[in-house]
């Protein structure tokens, strides 16, 4: 079902309003000043395949738009039901979706009449997730086990029922259990808000129209991105920057990139970048395009 540009723009703005409201709900209901003041949280809508099609423009961490979510969805298998809510903070187990252990991700499948339409996702940087230091942030940590508890993708809720043993285990391994659960409940409120608003949208326009809108928004984003790239003169451009890692005795850690433009295509070559370091300065990328764009 091909939508005209006017209808597509209207629905794009409706989705934008949904994720903005998700973000506002998280900010206003979070329990810690840390979340309210630093805005270290995210809220997005994601296609069935794991591609972000709606993200806030003014609230929270805007880099969520580039996070790879396909791996996290694949890790869930086929046991996905209405009312399920999944949780993880593990960059390895989610194939690069989670950034570090302090960012706890919650995501929920949005069903309409038994059909999976899309996913609602949110994350929040919790005050503490365990590990060797209070706050769980120590650049000198040289292995992930020192950073805190690793939560592989699991169901926090199954068909609407809370997995209390899992929650108890998570909260027992952090220094700020009440604050963490309070902030996580803010994320859950954001997910519930998105579900209500998406259902209202489907009731107004129909499932087929909304489902088609998601695909067309992603296609439009690719078209516009290629148009922007095509305006850059063909050639190879070089850039280097450094992480200051004196606190862990590494001095300057180089990030180097060569960007080659050919028409509406772009290739990034990170030859010359420092290898993985024995400190909490690495970002698992799994060669996802979104990560490279964020770094660049």
Per-residue b/e over 251-288, b at no fewer than 16 CB within 10 Å?
eebeeebebebeeeebeeeeeeebeeeebbbeebbeeb
Question: For 95-99, 190-194, 199-203, which range has the lowest pLDDT when averaged over its residues?
Answer: 95-99
Q: Which two tokens stand for residue 71?
A: 């791996």
The residue ranking higher by pLDDT, 189 or 281, is: 189
Q: Using the predicted structure, report yes or no on whether residue 79 has a pLDDT greater than 80.
A: yes
The residue ranking higher by pLDDT, 130 or 68, is: 130
Among the three residues 221, 253, 273, which one is the final residue of a domain in this structure? Answer: 221
- For residues 153 and 291, membership in a common domain is answered with no
In a domain, 208, yes or no: yes
Q: Provide the pLDDT for residue 140.
A: 83
Q: Using the predicted structure, report yes or no on whether residue 228 has a pLDDT greater than 90.
A: yes
Q: CA 53, CA 212: separation in Å to the nearest integer?
A: 12
Q: What are phi and psi of 31, to 5 degrees?
A: -90, -20
- For residues 67 and 102, membership in a common domain is answered with yes
Q: Provide the pLDDT for residue 296.
A: 45
Q: Provide the pLDDT for residue 74.
A: 85
In a domain, 42, yes or no: yes
Name every residue whose Cβ is closer than 8 Å to that of residue 61 and which is 6 or more positions away in sequence: 39, 40, 41, 42, 123
- For residues 253 and 287, membership in a common domain is answered with yes
Give the bridge partners for 256, in sequence order.
Answer: 240
In a domain, 226, yes or no: no
C-alpha distances (whole Å) from 246 to each of 56, 113, 147, 251, 266 are 35, 56, 19, 5, 34
Range of the domain at 246: 235-295
- For residues 109 and 194, membership in a common domain is answered with yes
C-alpha distances (whole Å) from 251 to each of 140, 242, 243, 271, 272 are 13, 9, 8, 20, 16
The DSSP code sequence of 159-181 is TTEE-HHHHHHHHHTSS-HHHHH
Intra-chain end-to-end CA distance of the chain, in Å: 36
- What's the whole-model pTM score? 0.91
Helix (H, G, I), strand (E, B) or coil at 156: strand
pLDDT band at 64 (very low <50, low <70, confident <90, very high): low
- For residues 157 and 202, membership in a common domain is answered with yes
Q: What percent of the chain has pLDDT over 70?
A: 94
Q: Provide the pLDDT for residue 267.
A: 93
pLDDT band at 227 (very low <50, low <70, confident <90, very high): very high
Question: For 58-72, 169-183, 263-277, which range has the lowest pLDDT when averaged over its residues?
Answer: 58-72
Q: Using the predicted structure, report yes or no on whether residue 123 has a pLDDT greater than 50.
A: yes
The residue ranking higher by pLDDT, 95 or 258, is: 258
Among the three residues 187, 221, 255, which one is the final residue of a domain in this structure? Answer: 221
Among the three residues 221, 253, 280, which one is the final residue of a domain in this structure? Answer: 221
Q: Using the predicted structure, report yes or no on whether residue 292 has a pLDDT greater than 70.
A: no
Q: What are phi and psi of 9, to 5 degrees?
A: -65, -40
| CB-CB neighbours of 152 under 10 Å | 12
In a domain, 230, yes or no: no
In this prediction, residues 4-19 reach a mean pLDDT of 95
Sheet with 265-269, side-by-side order of all strands: 235-244, 252-262, 265-269
Match 């998570």 to its residue by tokens: 170
| Averaged pLDDT score across all residues of the chain | 90
Q: Which two tokens stand for residue 146?
A: 């020192």
Per-residue pLDDT tens over the stretch 149-187:
999 999 999 999 999 999 999 999 999 999 999 999 999
- For residues 184 and 37, membership in a common domain is answered with yes
- For residues 29 and 146, membership in a common domain is answered with yes
In this prediction, residues 111-129 reach a mean pLDDT of 95
In a domain, 287, yes or no: yes
- For residues 186 and 273, membership in a common domain is answered with no
- For residues 45 and 184, membership in a common domain is answered with yes
In a domain, 229, yes or no: no
CATH code where residue 129 lies: 3.30.450
- For residues 142 and 24, membership in a common domain is answered with yes
Q: Which two tokens stand for residue 274?
A: 């420092």
Q: Which two tokens stand for residue 96?
A: 């690069």
In a domain, 18, yes or no: yes
Q: Provide the pLDDT for residue 8.
A: 94
Domain count along the chain: 2
The residue ranking higher by pLDDT, 245 or 54, is: 54
In this prediction, residues 1-26 reach a mean pLDDT of 94
- For residues 267 and 211, membership in a common domain is answered with no
Q: Provide the pLDDT for residue 35.
A: 86
In a domain, 59, yes or no: yes
- For residues 52 and 142, membership in a common domain is answered with yes
């Amino acid at each position: 079902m091909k939508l005209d540009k006017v209808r597509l723009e209207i629905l794009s703005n409706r989705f934008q309003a949904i994720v903005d409201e998700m973000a506002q709900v998280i900010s206003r209901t979070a329990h810690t000043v840390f979340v309210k003041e630093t805005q270290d949280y995210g809220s997005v809508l994601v296609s069935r395949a794991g591609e972000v099609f709606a993200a806030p423009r003014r609230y929270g961490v805007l880099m969520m738009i580039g996070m790879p979510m396909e791996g996290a969805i694949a890790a869930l298998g086929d046991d996905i039901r209405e009312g399920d809510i999944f949780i993880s903070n593990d960059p390895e187990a989610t194939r690069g979706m989670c950034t570090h252990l302090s960012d706890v991700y919650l995501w929920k499948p949005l069903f309409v009449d038994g059909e999976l339409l899309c996913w609602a996702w949110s994350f929040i940087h919790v005050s503490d997730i365990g590990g060797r230091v209070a706050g769980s942030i120590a650049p000198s940590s040289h292995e992930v086990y020192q950073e805190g508890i690793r939560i592989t993708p699991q169901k926090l809720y199954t068909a609407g029922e809370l997995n209390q043993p899992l929650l108890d285990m998570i909260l027992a391994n952090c220094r700020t259990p009440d604050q963490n659960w309070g902030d996580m409940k803010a994320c859950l409120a954001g997910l519930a808000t998105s579900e209500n608003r998406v259902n209202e949208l489907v009731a107004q326009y129909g499932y087929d129209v909304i489902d088609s809108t998601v695909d067309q928004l992603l296609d439009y984003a690719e078209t516009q991105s290629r148009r922007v790239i095509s305006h850059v003169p063909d050639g190879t451009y070089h850039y280097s920057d450094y992480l200051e890692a004196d606190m862990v005795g590494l001095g300057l850690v180089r990030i180097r990139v060569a960007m080659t433009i050919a028409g509406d295509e772009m290739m990034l070559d990170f030859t010359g970048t420092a290898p993985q370091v024995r400190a909490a300065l690495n970002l698992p990328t799994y060669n996802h395009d979104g990560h490279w764009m964020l770094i660049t």
